[in-house]
Amino acid sequence: MQKSVSLHTLGCKLNYSETSTIAGKFSESGFAMKPYGESSDIFVLNTCSVTDNADKECRQIIRSVLNKNPDTYIIVTGCYAQLRPNEIAEIHGVDLVLGANEKFKLFDYVNNFEKKDLSCVFTSPISEVTDFDYAYSSDIDSRTRAFLKIQDGCDYNCSFCTIPLARGKSRSLGIDKVIDNAKKLIDTGYKEIVLTGVNTGDYNYRTDTGNRDYRLMDVLLELEKLNIPRIRISSIEPNLLTDEIIQLVKSSNSICRHFHIPLQSGDPEILKLMRRRYSRDQYEDLIYKLNSEIPGVGIGIDVITGFPQETEEKFMNTVKFLEPLPASYLHIFTYSERKNTFAVTLPGRVDAGSRRERSGILREISNKKRLAFYRKNVDKTHKVLFETVKEDDFIYGFSENYIKTRVKAGHKLENTILNVRISSADTFNFTEGSIAA
Ligand code: SF4
């Protein structure tokens, strides 16, 4: 009888794209796919390690899957599985734990999917993790936007981050494969490709003959030749956003005028403690340069609150830095202690209440920034890729510079790119628009 599988992802876009690849392997092997939440013979959970809630969430999800069907064969993989496999193996009901090197080879480790009393763990030391499986995924199961993984791992050593420990050294997908995969995605009907990686700006591929190095700029140039309607860079470290990439985006019809650039703190001393590779001044210069070179550019900024030694005064330095900065939204993370990082050894912990409060303050600033950005675009026309229809026949989509807008038009616009005139912006959640000529 045909066995069924359902999968669930925690964490970042990269994890989503990798879950899609694992799903593809099940599908190729003849398994029936079930949506997450429905009872299935096998369940795969792709975990994250960004916060220390991971284990709690992992336990809850496994419990709820087993409640529906106690015979479900449970596989857990992802960053948390690489970092703390034994902790996961101890969770009652887990059958198989796969680390970073093993996650795409799960059929090498199991074939009959029969539950046993004990769980099996397969992980490799992170120094041996070199696997790179092509991965892409669609957003909310639509045929609109695909996340294409071009890079994995990270050689940076930010003091708060466990990703290098969970995903290993930086490595990049060969340029030919990037191009082939992008073509496949476009042929399947996707209108937007989001280039994804742990440190996407660090893309660096040397050809087998060793006579050519490809960097992110080269990837963008190659993809531009394919007439892809839209290419978006998921996130890029500020020190890797070069002038030539800025100029390319400025002149391109397909690369989105939208950047997601981690800052993490606006206080120079905290930035140093975080071991980031830029100064506050360099970051500020970059944001102003982007605004002057690329009019209307959308900029998202990652910030962490409550890092050790972030006093009230230092937090206010971040607030004062961010408030006037011409960016369109913030993405806020509340610091949480991670084992085996330098940050966890630092004195001067910030209490949980202050961490939460600071995140709330930054969320307010983010909402104001987004609304101000939306309002600046009222009466302007943008190309919008329509994605989903929600209540009352409104269809929602994003402009190339990441303005969420809706028009009343229903399903017929799904997965089309049309000119939309932004007519009003009353909330930071979305703008209202109408189809323009
Ligand atoms: S750049 Fe820093 S924060 Fe980002 S993945 Fe690498 S180590 Fe982590």
DSSP 148-217: EE-EE------TT--HHHHH-S-EE--HHHHHHHHHHHHHHT-SEEEEE-SSGGG-EEE-TTSS-EEEHH
- Give start-end residues of each CATH 3.40.50.12160 domain in the chain: 4-128
Q: How far, in Å, is the centroid of ligand 1 from the Cα of 121?
A: 27
**Residue 14: CB within 6 Å of ligand 1?**
no
pLDDT score at 21: 84
**DSSP 8-state code for residue 402:** -
Q: Round to whole Å and give the CA distance between 213 and 205.
A: 6
Number of the ligand 1 atom closest to the C-alpha atom of 161: 8
Confidence of residue 131 (pLDDT cuts 50, 70, 90): low
Pick the CATH number of 132-256 from 3.90.209.20, 3.40.50.280, 3.30.750.210, 3.30.1450.10: 3.30.750.210
CATH of 381-435, one of 2.40.380, 2.40.50, 3.30.70, 1.10.12: 2.40.50
Say which residues have a Cβ less than 8 Å from residue 295's Cβ, sequence separation at least 6. Answer: none
State which fold the 258-376 domain adopts.
Transcription Regulator spoIIAA (3.30.750)
Residue pLDDT, tens place only, 74-123: 999 998 898 889 889 999 899 999 988 888 888 888 778 888 878 889 88
Confidence (pLDDT) at 133? 65
If you average pLDDT over residues 35-64, what whole number do you get? 87
CATH 3.30.750.200 residue ranges for the chain: 258-376
Residue 35: pLDDT over 60: yes
Q: What was the pLDDT predicted at 100?
A: 84
Tell me how crowded residue 194 is: count the other CB atoms within 10 A of its CB.
Answer: 23
Beta carbon of 165 within 6 Å of any ligand 1 atom: no
Which residue from 198, 202, 261 has its CB within 8 A of the most atoms of ligand 1, so it is best to mutate? 198
Average pLDDT on 346-375 reads 97
CATH number of the domain located at residue range(s) 4-128 in this protein: 3.40.50.12160
pLDDT of residue 140: 41
- Expressed in angstroms, the distance from the first to the final Cα of the chain is 54
**DSSP secondary structure string, 201-266?**
GG-EEE-TTSS-EEEHHHHHHHHHTTT-SEEEE----GGG--HHHHHHHHH-SSB-SEEEEEEE-S
Q: What is the pLDDT of residue 125?
A: 80
Which of 161, 237, 277, 336 is the pocket-test mutation for ligand 1 (most atoms within 8 Å of CB)? 161
Residues forming CATH 2.40.50 domain(s) in the chain: 381-435
23-32, 58-67, 120-129, 149-158: the lowest-pLDDT one: 120-129
Mean pLDDT within 418-437: 94
Mean pLDDT of the chain: 91
Q: Is the CB–ligand 1 distance for residue 36 below 6 Å?
A: no
List the Cα angle 420/425/429 in 5-degree steps: 95
249 vs 186: which has the higher pLDDT: 249
Rounded to an integer, what distance in angstroms lies between the CA atom of residue 349 and that of residue 92? 33
Q: Which two tokens stand for residue 2?
A: 């045909």
The H-or-E segment that residue 429 falls in is none
Please give the share of the chain, as a percent, with pLDDT higher than 70. 96
Query: Which 3 state secondary structure label does DSSP give 374?
Result: helix
pTM: 0.86
